[in-house]
Structure 1
């Protein structure tokens, strides 16, 4: 028997695992069939757009990672099995440590996601990536300035 909520939660956690591993291409591929709303407004962007944004703004260290840990917590997942759709609301907290940058909390916010079931597999359909609630020192993580 399918456990759709677990499959969807695993997508949330897979995102964190991939981004923390520095695999921007595989992270962006999670959104191949989705659109993402980003800070600053405008039209939602696609997989290529988010990958370009990350490549331009996320610092990747010699170890091949951004030296971050994204914690995705408190997922509230609502599934409509008959329609093959679902939504999730979750929190994220990002920690980082790098040379000259001691371990610290750098960001906290929310993800609002929509999912669709296609060929028996759950996938992202939409992510509101704009819900940054609290920002700490992001200078060792991003090349751009972020205002909350």
Structure 2
């Protein structure tokens, strides 16, 4: 039973890393992104290949060219063997941006993240990520919500001003 519990906890820890990386991308949170990788981890995103730290620098330099992003993660499957694991997670990443001719578009990229995880000193982190792309689409953006300061809606934003950070802080205050 102890082995089954360790495998279950290991799978959950690895899945949390996948979700946290997606959160870090959408919030443009460099520290959060770095926290999911081992210091010697690598990344292969097709257009980028290198260390995970270099990937974080590359992607945090690229994301500000987009108004907003949302990475949706699904079908997360993790296989664990001792202190090593491999995972596949489907993603659909929405990127609100401007086309080359100046029109607002939503570029959707979909594919899978193939991750290698290692548990070192009792802590799971990603040792390598490989992004595999399945399809993409560029769509006309039709967002009609009032985004002015007087809007009744609360909108997400990049960085620590996003409502997520205050929401997470309530855990420490309650």
Shorter-chain TM range is 0.7 to 0.9
Tell me the secondary structure at the aligned position of residue 40 of structure 2: coil
**Aligned residue runs from structure 1 range 119-130, under 5 A:** 119-129=121-131
Residue 38 of structure 1 deviates from its aligned partner by: 2.8
| TM-score normalized with structure 2 length | 0.63
Correspondent of 2:46 among 39, 44, 48 = 39
| 1:39-58 equivalence runs, <5 A | 39-40=46-47, 44-58=49-63
Q: Is the contact between residue 116 and residue 127 of structure 2 (CA under 8 Å) also seen in structure 1?
A: yes
2:72 is aligned with 1:27: no
Please list every run of 5 or more consecutive structure 2 residues that lacks an aligned counterpart in the other structure: 142-174
The answer for the alignment partner of 2:116 in structure 1 is 114
User: Which entry has the higher C-alpha Rg, 1 or 2?
Assistant: 2
Structure 1's consecutive aligned runs of 4 or more residues displaced over 4 angstroms after TM superposition are 97-100
Greater helix content: 2
TM-score (normalised: structure 1): 0.73
| RMSD, aligned α-carbons | 2.8
1:68 corresponds to which residue? 69
TM-superposition CA deviations, 1:18-53 (whole Å, max 9, x none)? 111111343144223311123158xx4113321232
